[in-house]
């Protein structure tokens, strides 16, 4: 009987642009595709071998989960799609789907510039992705479907989580704020809160699967509960999540200064599993600019929040967001931002050059700050924050840190004989292994070491090199990671062993 090559399973890859909410949405998209019978391309070596520089990964289905907040989002997307066009021409049956905030904003107009895209879906209807791909394949034309409001709460959808040891859990979607620079409320809609019982059930489920860290997600987490009439609901939720047995680390992002209350600070301070890290977006240190941004807090309130947090959580690492060059920003306004940054001693800051977002009030203003002025101010801000971050990190030398070992965080780990992960305060830490170390340390395990050096964006804990502190604690999360890796290896071996068969065999694709 003649030898015939087995047909490979249909594969997918997802490229995520933007915020943590998009990362979590991509996990939902992966779960939907797996439930529909597709396989992540890295698990099919023969398919992955076809990967090109276009970022297709060798997959049959490429999904791009887009962002409208980040600068040059449109330019990046259309550039990526242009690269994928040549790949699609050479790969029969390949499909490209575009979802997320930019897709919600553009809808079918996206096809005017990229008519080779097969499916367009928005932030409110992630669940239709497999159906749109099948419709496009059957009809041989692009399938576009958008919803004006949320149709299915994302957390009810199948999920393929990126990490075995840490999980995102949405507590709400959408936003009720009206910041003049932000397009998110238009694209993700009004805030909708999940019921506390549903959130706790999901957290319990991911802990049962091995996760020891959970990050609660929302566009404005501390306004959680307004929808069902409980303004103290977020603080209560933090305490309840923190009591779940087996969960070692609880984080949340992002809060809004206007709605950040003392009961949340108390919950953070009094719940041991809530980590001493806080992301508190400043945006500007000028009251005049904050007013024009329609941010419903002022400098004094913001600085008061930081003061009270540090009173109750002295070692808290506080990070922030800052926009440089908002329309009408004067040098005096910018100096006030620099003053707040100097006084606040942020562990790090996400700094952005203001860029107009179509559909936002700020984009239509005539007093746009010249590009050269924005760039000059931006460089001054970055230089200041780099100095502060370096000083704050160097002040930690000699302190013991517990590091949750992460996968893929340390690009130079192999060359430097280190492992990398996050400390309790969410700082990135590179930990040296003892000389001639022969043990096993897995992502999800905990390592305790002493900080020996502080750089602007990370800590180094090389205490083991001089016989100092180095302890490893194997965890359930490490077990879960190892179990997942074993199952993936088994699936890859199965796929490889059946790549060539007799006659016309079939392959059974297992969905997670």
pLDDT digits (tens, 9 = 90+) for 190-226: 788 999 999 999 999 999 999 999 999 988 898 999 8
∠ CA 453-390-352, nearest 5°, is 135
Shortest CA distance to 8 belongs to which of 503, 492, 511? Answer: 492
182 labelled ligand-binding = yes
Question: What does the pLDDT read at residue 53?
Answer: 93
Q: Which residues contact 384 (CB under 8 A, 6 or more apart)?
A: 338, 341, 342
- 67 in a known ligand binding site: yes
Predicted confidence (pLDDT) at residue 509 exceeds the cutoff of 50: no
pLDDT band at 502 (very low <50, low <70, confident <90, very high): very low
Average pLDDT, rounded, for the chain: 89
What is the rounded (10 degree) CA torsion for 63, 69, 75, 76? -40
User: Kind of pairing, strands 119-121 and 95-100?
Assistant: parallel
Any idea of the CA torsion for 154, 159, 162, 163, to the nearest 10 degrees?
100
Amino acid 508: pLDDT: 37
Mean per-residue pLDDT for 367-385? Answer: 97
> Tens digits of per-residue pLDDT, 218-253?
888 989 998 888 989 999 999 999 999 999 999 999
CA dist., res. 259 & res. 297, Å (int): 9
CB atoms < 10 A from the CB of 494, how many? 14
What is the distance in angstroms between the CA of the first residue and the CA of the last residue of the chain? Answer: 35
Strands (E), 20-137: 39-40, 61-66, 95-100, 119-121
CA dist., res. 300 & res. 344, Å (int): 12
CA 5 from chain centre, in angstroms, equals 39
pLDDT digits (tens, 9 = 90+) for 39-87: 999 988 999 999 999 999 999 999 999 887 665 677 788 888 999 999 9
pLDDT per position as a tens digit, 9-47: 999 999 988 777 778 888 889 989 998 999 999 988 999
* Secondary structure letter of residue 283 according to DSSP: B
Q: Are 289 and 302 in contact (CB under 8 A)?
A: no
Place of tokens 């989580």: 161
The position carrying tokens 């929302």 is 218
**166-170: strand order across its sheet:** 166-170, 213-217, 249-253
How do residues 437-464 score in pLDDT, each as one tens digit? 989 999 999 999 999 999 999 999 999 9
Cα–Cα dist 50/87, whole Å: 10
**Percent of the chain topping pLDDT 90:** 67
> Over the stretch 91-144, which tens digit does the pLDDT of each residue have?
999 999 999 888 888 888 899 999 999 999 988 788 889 999 999 998 899 989
Stretch 395-417: mean pLDDT, rounded? 92
Q: Check the annotation: does 114 bind a ligand.
A: no
Instruction: Domains for the chain: give ranges and CATH numbers.
Output: 9-145 (3.40.50.12160), 163-275 (3.30.750.210), 281-291+312-395 (3.30.750.200), 400-475 (2.40.50)
pLDDT at position 207 is 96
Spatial CB neighbours of 173, under 8 Å, sequence gap ≥ 6: 21, 150, 153, 154, 188, 189, 191, 192, 218, 219
């Amino acid at each position: 009987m003649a030898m015939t090559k087995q047909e490979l399973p249909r594969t997918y890859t997802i490229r995520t642009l933007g915020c943590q909410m998009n990362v979590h949405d991509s996990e939902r998209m992966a779960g939907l595709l797996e439930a529909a019978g597709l396989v992540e391309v890295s698990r099919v070596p023969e398919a992955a071998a076809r990967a090109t520089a276009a970022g297709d990964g060798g997959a049959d289905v490429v999904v791009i989960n887009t962002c409208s907040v980040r600068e040059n989002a449109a330019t990046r997307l259309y550039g990526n799609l242009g690269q994928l066009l040549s790949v699609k021409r050479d790969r029969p049956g390949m499909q490209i789907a575009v979802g997320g905030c930019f897709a919600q904003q553009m809808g079918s107009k996206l096809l005017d510039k990229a008519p080779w895209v097969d499916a367009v879906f928005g932030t409110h209807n992630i669940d239709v992705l497999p159906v749109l791909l099948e419709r496009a394949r059957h009809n041989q034309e692009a399938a576009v479907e958008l919803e004006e409001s949320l149709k299915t709460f994302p957390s009810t959808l199948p999920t393929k989580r990126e990490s075995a040891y840490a999980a995102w859990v949405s507590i709400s979607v959408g936003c009720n704020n009206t910041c003049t620079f932000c397009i998110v409320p238009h694209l993700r809609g009004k805030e909708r809160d999940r019921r506390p019982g549903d959130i706790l059930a999901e957290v319990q489920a991911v802990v049962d699967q091995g996760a020891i860290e959970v990050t609660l997600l929302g566009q404005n987490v501390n306004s959680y509960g307004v929808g069902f009439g409980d303004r103290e609901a977020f603080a209560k939720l933090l305490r309840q999540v923190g009591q779940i047995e087996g969960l070692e680390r609880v984080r949340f992002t992002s809060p809004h200064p206007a709605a950040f209350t003392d009961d949340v600070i108390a919950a953070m301070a009094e719940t041991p599993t809530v980590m001493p890290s806080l992301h508190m977006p400043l945006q500007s240190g000028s009251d005049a600019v904050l007013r024009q941004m329609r941010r419903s807090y002022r400098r004094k309130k913001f600085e008061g929040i930081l003061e009270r947090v540090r009173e109750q959580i002295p070692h808290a690492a506080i990070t922030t967001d800052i926009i440089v060059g908002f329309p009408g920003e004067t040098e005096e306004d910018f100096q006030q931002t620099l003053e707040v940054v100097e006084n606040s001693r942020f562990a790090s800051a996400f700094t952005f050059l203001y860029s107009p977002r179509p559909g936002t009030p700020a984009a239509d203003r005539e007093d746009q700050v010249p590009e050269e002025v924005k760039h000059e101010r931006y460089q001054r801000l970055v230089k200041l924050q780099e100095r502060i971050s370096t000083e704050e990190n160097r002040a930690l030398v000699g302190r013991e840190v517990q590091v949750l070992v992460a996968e893929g965080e340390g690009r130079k780990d192999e060359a430097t004989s280190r492992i990398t992960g996050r400390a309790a305060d969410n700082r990135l830490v590179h930990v040296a292994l003892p000389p001639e170390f022969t043990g096993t340390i897995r992502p999800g395990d905990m390592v305790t070491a002493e900080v020996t050096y502080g750089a602007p964006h990370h800590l180094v804990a090389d205490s083991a090199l001089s016989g100092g502190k180095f302890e490893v604690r194997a965890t359930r999360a490490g077990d879960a990671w190892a179990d997942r890796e074993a199952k993936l290896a088994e699936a890859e071996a199965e796929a490889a062993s059946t790549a060539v068969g007799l006659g016309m065999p079939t392959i059974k694709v297992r969905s997670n």
